Amino acid sequence: MSDVEREAMEYDVVIVGAGPAGLSAAIRLKQLNPDREIVVLEKGSEVGAHILSGAVLDPCGLDALIPDWKEKGAPLNVPVKVDNFYMLGEAGKIRVPNFPMPPLMNNHGNYIVSMGNVCRWMAEQAEEMGIEIFPGMACSELIYAEDGSVKGVVAGEFGKNADGTPGPSYEPGMELHGKYVFLSEGVRGSLSKEVIAKYDLSKGKEPQKFGLGMKEIWEIDPDKHREGTVTHTMGWPLGSNAGGGSFIYHLENNQVYIGFVVHLNYKNPHLFPYMEFQRFKHHPMVAELLKGGKRVAYGARAITEGGYQSMPKMVAPGVALLGCSVGMVNVPRIKGNHNAMLSGKAAAEAAHAALEAGRASDELTDYENEVRTGAIGKDLKKVRNVKPLWSKYGLLASLTVGGFDMWTNTFGFSLLGTVKHGKTDAAATEPADKHKPIEYPKPDGKLSFDRLTNVSFSMTNHEESQPAHLRLKDASVPIGVNLPTYAEPAQRYCPAGVYEVVEKDGSPEFVINFQNCVHCKTCDIKDPSQNITWVTPQGGDGPNYPNM
């Protein structure tokens, strides 16, 4: 569609994504120069609609950005009071004591939050400063200058027919040009993926690794509610089938966040992450907590887990990658929001210095240096070996050797150096005939639910006449390659039931129900043939998460 005539608007900095990284960057730029022209573009129907996170928030990012956040009414209302860690068996549990854990694992001083609500509050702060924020504006393509630098984005294209041609109510969208463009799209963003490939930003780095996080909000019996309690578990039901674990966070209003993470480097294509989550809720400890309660929301999101050694180069001419576009999650702490905020602040400070010096569209190397050598790099370097140890040697080695490594890193050294990740998550998938199918109990409709019922609790909606935003590079691969070799795992790894294999005229057919998509990006990551590409649907489409 590059021959379409579009209006263009000029800004100092164009920011894609109103998550913690993008909003922090916008706020910091305006703090440094109130006359700076900033625009933030958000594909969700409102700020926070596509934000899904655990979340126990380390407030260090907010402290650095808005030191008086408490007086300004930031929605950090539930300080962590109790920190539990359990190893689960099928019927029992063993509490892992807190004292042998490295100090960085302590949640004292952190808050149980809805990151969606934190972002909504940050957007209010930004708009009060005069920052333009446009929700419902998906950025569908990058614009490059003649010298090869990133010049801007196309946003707000609506009304295409299913075949990609302009429909009767077609709107071409606008070009938004910036002296610098910040991509803060979250995990596996489509524009970030393009930039990483175009400028070969992952050269010399370990492959990025991912997990799939699924989450439900429950209203529970007030007698069982313990506000401020944080519980993490490992072990059952995943066992040796996959890495991962759960979180149970008691926030206010008798609500509990129940979450489950499955590392996407699992080998067995029969594994069904969503059903592992549903099975987990039947563990006696969890079932007792949820009994008599009701689930009020559901969602899912991929998580970047590669850590320090997988962070690509973060800058290219005219563009910088922020937050989860780079991958700044501290895996053992299960925290990345603080680093996302700090990355936004660092990118803003580098862009401010560049603009003050009369520069534009070059590489913001000061930003990259700050991330790698400053607070973010120090946070991630200490824990860099936990994930690859877990992947290579299993949970026990990760807890013992990884725990020891985190302790030594606390004192500034590691006996292990930097352990490599090796394969991508897609390449980790093995042929189906090497593994046994896994029998999953049927959801009971009280504690556990089928996918389509749960997806209705994500308030997901897509205009069905538009082109599917889940694209196959080769339409023959799902049935011709993935089905015979891998039992077509898209039927199982998708937490929203987007992909099905159905019988049609006696032959299998691959069906994509894109209207169910919750934008988790798992298919783009885990498909063993790397045949599925996730691109943005039209703006405002997708989940509408409350309180996530």
Give a yes or no: residue 91 inside a domain. no
Q: List the structure tokens of 483.
A: 């089905």
pLDDT of 507: 96
pLDDT tens track for 123-148:
999 999 999 999 999 999 999 999 99
Place 4 in a pLDDT band, splitting at 50, 70 and 90.
Answer: confident
Give a yes or no: residue 27 inside a domain. yes
Non-local CB neighbours of 458 within 8 Å, separated by 6+ positions: 297, 298, 299, 300, 496, 518, 543, 544, 545
Between the alpha carbon of residue 2 and those of residues 15, 72, 154, 160, the distances in Å are: 21, 44, 10, 14
Place 393 in a pLDDT band, splitting at 50, 70 and 90.
Answer: confident
Q: What percent of the chain has pLDDT over 70?
A: 99
Q: Which H/E stretch holds residue 368?
A: helix 365-373
Q: Which residue, among 3, 203, 40, has the nearest Cα to 132 in the 3D structure?
A: 40
CATH code, 519: 3.30.70.20
- State which of 382, 407, 426 marks the end of a domain: 382
Both 154 and 50 in one domain: the answer is yes
Place 417 in a pLDDT band, splitting at 50, 70 and 90.
Answer: confident
pLDDT of 242: 94
Both 29 and 123 in one domain: the answer is yes
Non-local CB neighbours of 111 within 8 Å, separated by 6+ positions: 56, 57, 59, 76, 77, 78, 79, 80
Both 44 and 187 in one domain: the answer is yes
Residue with tokens 């997901």: 460
Place 44 in a pLDDT band, splitting at 50, 70 and 90.
Answer: very high
| Among the ranges given (84-93, 186-195, 248-257, 443-452), the one the predictor scored with the smallest mean pLDDT | 84-93
| Among the ranges given (104-108, 363-367, 374-378, 452-456), the one the predictor scored with the smallest mean pLDDT | 104-108
Domain extent for 523: 455-541
Both 160 and 42 in one domain: the answer is yes
pLDDT of 40: 98
Question: Residue 4 in 3-state DSSP?
Answer: coil
Give a yes or no: residue 187 inside a domain. yes
- State which of 354, 382, 410 marks the end of a domain: 382
Residue 1 has pLDDT above 50, yes or no: no
Residue 406 has pLDDT above 80, yes or no: no
Q: Which residue, among 307, 215, 216, 208, has the nearest Cα to 264 in the 3D structure?
A: 208
Both 200 and 342 in one domain: the answer is yes
Arithmetic mean of pLDDT, 150-170? 95
pLDDT of 2: 55
Non-local CB neighbours of 329 within 8 Å, separated by 6+ positions: 303, 304, 305, 307, 335, 336, 339
pLDDT of 397: 67
Give a yes or no: residue 64 inside a domain. yes
Both 60 and 189 in one domain: the answer is yes
pLDDT of 540: 94
| Among the ranges given (49-63, 68-82, 299-313, 386-400), the one the predictor scored with the smallest mean pLDDT | 386-400
Give a yes or no: residue 93 inside a domain. no
Both 328 and 459 in one domain: the answer is no
Question: Residue 349 in 3-state DSSP?
Answer: helix
Give a yes or no: residue 274 inside a domain. no
Q: In this structure, what is the dihedral angle of CA atoms 300, 306, 307, 310, given to the nearest 10 degrees?
A: -130
pLDDT of 415: 78
Question: Could you give the number of structural domains in the chain?
Answer: 2
Both 34 and 120 in one domain: the answer is yes
Average pLDDT, the chain: 95
- State which of 382, 404, 430 marks the end of a domain: 382
Give a yes or no: residue 401 inside a domain. no
Q: Which H/E stretch holds residue 180?
A: strand 174-183
pLDDT tens track for 524-537:
999 999 999 999 99
Place 98 in a pLDDT band, splitting at 50, 70 and 90.
Answer: confident
Cα–Cα distance for residue pair 170/449, rounded to 1 Å: 39
Cβ atoms within 10 Å, residue 441: 10
CATH code, 344: 3.50.50.60
Cβ-based burial of 520 (10 A; exposed 0-12, middle 13-18, buried ≥19): buried
Q: List the structure tokens of 132.
A: 């333009």
Give a yes or no: residue 319 inside a domain. yes
Both 376 and 520 in one domain: the answer is no
pLDDT tens track for 441-495:
999 999 999 999 999 999 999 999 999 999 999 999 999 999 999 999 999 999 9
Is the pTM here over 0.85, yes or no? yes
